[in-house]
Amino acid sequence: MRLNKFLSFCGVCSRRKADELIKAGKVKVNGKVITELGIQVDPEKDKVEVNGKLVKPPKKLYYLFYKPRGYITSLYDPYNKKTIAEFIKKLPLRVFPVGRLDRDSEGLLLLTNDGDLANKLLHPRYEVKRTYLVWVTPKLSEEKISNLLKNGVIIANKRVKPLKFELFKKDGEEWVYRVVVKEGVKREVRKMVGFLGGRVHRLKRIEFGPLKIGNLKPGEIRPLSEKEVKKLYDFLNLEKSL
């Protein structure tokens, strides 16, 4: 990790201000004054000091968040759209969302300051499953669903196939389907439903990898239990270091 990014991550100052501190000779790494920008540090091994005070990374935090409809998965929007920052600002330390849900979608998001874990959850190699409930009209053709499961559909120049696409229940005039995907392609579930001739009325993510939304209500945030964090690390074959 670049030294200025590390200082920013630890809450010392912005990256720009960190560069100023480095050039002024106020930062030491393993007892040596550093004045060169772009130096890399290992947050787990290197000893970093600013003005003689030891700088330590913040504790790693993990939260489940039920993103409500009508909010974009961003901490800032130049067009003044409602963002999830409204909910995250209540938390004690800075965290960021892992993955995205579009403005009209709702459901499970992971919030964390653990960059390594976030990167692996989103990396295509790990094929992390995402499970959705989608409210649709009219009822979709079983033959078309079978064809989609077998052959997939081209989305964003990529052939994608759901792992599951099954009728879950009927809710009033709408049909609710349970859809499991692994690619993480933008708006893929909505596009699959459109390909099948349906219209999406509501889209809710209920699972992301080993995480489940449970009884969370829109706008609610709760910390992951130690058991849930361990399950998440075991899922990615990572070693947990808090």
Residues with active-site annotation: 102
In whole angstroms, give the CA distance from residue 185 to residue 68.
Answer: 21
Contacts of 173 (CB under 8 A, 6+ apart): 137
CA distances in angstroms from 36 to 25, 28, 197, listed in the order given: 9, 11, 59
DSSP state of 198: -
Q: Strands 211-212 and 199-208, how do they pair?
A: antiparallel
CA distances in angstroms from 172 to 42, 87, 203, 206, listed in the order given: 55, 31, 16, 20
Alpha helices in the chain (DSSP H): 3-9, 15-23, 85-88, 115-122, 142-151, 188-195, 226-235
In whole angstroms, give the CA distance from residue 121 to residue 99.
Answer: 9
Please choose, from the candidates 106, 123, 102, 98, the residue with its C-alpha nearest in 3D space to the C-alpha of residue 211: 98
In whole angstroms, give the CA distance from residue 241 to residue 118.
Answer: 14
